[in-house]
Structure 1
Amino acid sequence: MTSSDISSGNWLTPPHHRSGLHRVEDVISCATVARGDAPVRGLQCTRNPLDWDLLTVPGPEGRPIRAAEFLARTHTDGILVLRGDTVIGERYFGEFTSASRHIVMSLSKSFAGMLAGVLASAGLLEPDAAVPAYVPELAGGSYAGATVGQLLDMTAAPHYDMSYLEPTAEVHVGDRAAGWRPRRPGDVVGIRPFLSRLRGAGRHGAGFQYCSGTTDVLAWVLERAGGAGYGELMRRHVWSWIGAEDDAFVTVDDHGTPYACAGMGMRLRDLARFGRLVLDDGWREGTAVLPADWIARTRRGGDFATTAESDAAAGGTYKNQWWIPGDDHGSFYGVGIFGQYLWLDPRTDVVIAKFSATDEPVAGTPAVLDALGAISRAAAEIPQEG
């Protein structure tokens, strides 16, 4: 499939998404999140890498399968396993390469969560403040009674349907507002006009409600708190500090507003570098880039169990735009539809970054999470090289 076969009308639709997810910049308006001038963080390769053909992981039917079969079943574009600064395993498939950039979908939310931590640590963002204190434009809508902390933990309760396969659901209307899908008559043009028109809500803070619109409200709040555009804040406080090889990007609507809930994209190795920074408690070469106490609170998890209807397996929690599965390794992760993952295992000191193009949009299934956990444990058993 060539670039000319991908369009704004099909890039999210199987099988076109197999190319569309790493050709987003060809069909959707994007803004650059610059890497800056910092030296690239070097990654070394082990002499004893993971053998994907021998390694076994839990399979979807409850029987062990080879890791290579897991990668094929989940339509992997690329996977990288990092322990410290050592690459324990790395593979790319099809036309996707180490130099390709891939959209990370809702894994973008986890970037927003860390940016919020930076602003909160600097005294610019108050999690207990009401949303309209930062964005008065939302005083009459679904988020009027929510706090910033409730945005972060997905306990705000707007009337918002996240059914990915239902074209009339708000998640699809939001995609069309953002320019991700062809618009229909009567559609709102622009992410923030769409958010401003949302009406009705349940009881904020009463339970978990995963909602992409909630992250875009958070991004609006972060812009007002940080005094700059979202992409610039991300560059200034996060992306320019990780030692990235390349710029990242974020899709933007007709007004230039970033689609913060799902629109970021980057190289696989740079996603792993971001994960390394988080797993290192936010420290990079003696500098506290991300606040360690924010990361610690994130790892402890949220107050409410996630649900099977969400993108993550039931039984975990959600905190600061990250998923906390509650396993015995204290793992936490970001995830996006079609199988985008950033898996962090504090016990093994392993980061797993994975880009995929699964047939179904759902992600975070128990079988996949179990497989990532198994890969992490296998990587920890490979002897460290001196």
Structure 2
Amino acid sequence: MSKLFIIFFVSLILLLVAYTPNIIRLYKLANLYNEKTIAKNFINIDKIFNNISNPIPSSENPIIFKKKEFYLPETYTYEGKKLNLQEGISHFHTDGLIVLHDGKMLFEQYWNENNKDSKHISFSVAKSYLSALIGIAIDEGLIESIDDTVSKYLDDFIGTGYEDVKIKNLLQMSSGIEFNEDYADFNSDINKFSRATARGKSFRDFAKSLKSGREQGTYNHYVSLDTQVLAIILESVTNMPVREYLYKRIWSKIGTESDAYYITDSTGADMALGGLNASLRDYAKFGQLYLNNGNWHGEQIVPESWVIQSRTPDADHLMPNAGDLSSNEWGYGYQWWIPGNPITDFTAHGIFNQFIYID
């Protein structure tokens, strides 16, 4: 065997060792949304992604919702048409559904191998949790004002597209950052983000690479990295990971029944923009918390004024059906959507139709 061949063979082995983990991560990511396995994938994120946070422990005093007898209606009305509800549940590949009213569980059912203990990926529902934590941090004096700019808290963002963006405009998806969030477009910024972080780039570094495309505070345009920048600010002022602050301020206090976890990046930073994984019952508890204006059994966990502001659009470009002032039909608050019919409804919403809908 020639010396040249041995060198080539050893080099090939070293390349495989070096790059195989990245190749595997990219393969898993590419197949995450495979129609045949998507339901199973969404409750097994910890087996698909290499970077997973430590568990967010369940509450020491878990609360199980009392049940009240209730039957789902056979039909529902959409755009003036009466449709069969069970057919709709099947059509939208529903994994789980809980209905609460007056603090009681009227309905709970699971499909597609899900159960009450499944940890389901939240996607952008996680953004509404981050909003709550920002409100708490402001109430605690850790963040002085929502009119503060990113660079006041993050020196390394000076000279980036986010340097002068106000916290309020991050909360309201009005940062002016140029970003394509189309998951169907291979070359979109959100897909570039997924591939870059799968290869090991940090959320922070990716955020710093983005550029401003328009005046902030004038146009509602969905940019998931806006939420991640909020998370970076939160970690800076609290001196702890998002998951730890979430546990201490919310998760441990609302009777959660199960542990939860985040997807993280290569540095261990939590994916606050959409990486929370939790049980449906515990997602429902967060919805109940916001229905009660941030109060849980007499304890004010999220400031009431913050909850009200979070669900109230306060500018023309944030209103439902804002036309040329928004890239979205729904209105927007502080990381909460306002569908607009009626205006009092609001919802956390993930890309694959994960909802915490409050009416």
Task: Give the TM bin, normalised by the shorter chain.
Answer: 0.7 to 0.9
Cα distance in 2 between the residues matched to 1:137 and 1:269: 39
Q: Deviations over 1:37-57 (max 9, x none)?
A: 4311121111x3123xx4311
**1:149 corresponding residue in structure 2:** 168
Residues 249 and 301 of structure 2 are in contact (CA less than 8 Å); yes or no, is this contact kept in structure 1?
yes
Measured on the aligned residues, the alpha-carbon RMSD in Å equals 2.1
Q: Distance in 1 between matches of 2:321 and 2:163?
A: 25
Partner of 2:6: none
* Corresponding residue SS for 1:208: coil
8 A contact 1:21–1:103 mirrored in 2: yes
Taking every aligned residue pair, what percent have the same amino acid on both sides? 26
Aligned pairs for 1:117-266 (under 5 A) are 117-125=135-143, 126-179=145-198, 183=199, 189-266=201-278
2:45 & 2:236 partners in 1: Cα distance? 28
1:48-87 alignment to 2 at 5 Å? 48-51=69-72, 54-59=73-78, 62-87=80-105
In the superposition, relative to structure 1, how do residues 220 and 129 fare at CA in structure 2: closer, same or farther (>3 Å)? same
Deviation at 1:173, TM superposition (A): 1.4
Tell whether 2:39 aligns with 1:25. Answer: no
Q: Does 1:337 align with 2:357?
A: no
Gaps of 5+ in 1: 1-5, 346-386
Instruction: Kindly indicate whether the alpha-carbon contact (under 8 Å) linking 2:193 and 2:206 is maintained by their aligned counterparts in 1.
Output: yes
Q: CA deviation at 1:59?
A: 4.1
Give the Cα separation in 1 of the matches to 2:267 and 2:167: 24
Q: Output the CA distance in 1 between the equivalents of 2:160 and 2:28.
A: 34
Which structure is larger by alpha-carbon Rg, 1 or 2? Answer: 2
**Residues in 2 aligned to 1:26 and 1:239: alpha-carbon distance in whole angstroms:** 23
Counterparts of residues 306-345 of structure 1 (less than 5 Å) = 314-328=328-342, 330-345=344-359
Encode CA deviations 1:88-145: one digit per residue, 9 max, x unaligned. 1111112111111100101111111111111111121121101111111111111112
- Which segments of structure 1 move beyond 6 Å, counting only runs of 4 or more? none
Deviates more, 1:96-105 or 1:323-332: 323-332
1:81-120 mapped onto 2 (5 Å cutoff): 81-120=99-138
Which amino acid letter does the alignment assign opposite residue 129 of structure 1?
A: D
Whole-angstrom CA distance in 1 between matches of 2:313 and 2:339: 9
Give the TM-score taking structure 1 as reference length.
Answer: 0.80
Deviates more, 1:277-286 or 1:146-155: 277-286
Equivalence for 1:293: 305
1:329 CA drift (Å): 6.4
* Residues 142/307 of structure 1: CA separation in 2 closer, same or farther (3 Å cut): farther
- Mapped contact 1:44–1:87 kept (Cα < 8 A): yes
Secondary structure of the 1:80 match is strand
Shift of 1:313: 9.9
Aligned partner of residue 132 in structure 1, secondary structure:
helix
Q: 2-side partners of 1:93 and 1:83: how far apart?
A: 22
Partner Cα separation in structure 1 for residue 281 and residue 182 of structure 2: 31
Cα distance change, pair 56–13 in 1 and its aligned pair in 2 (3 A): same
Query: Going by fraction, where is helix more abundant, 1 or 2?
Result: 2
> Normalized per residue, which structure has more strand?
1
3-state DSSP of counterpart to 1:79: strand
How many residue pairs were aligned? 327
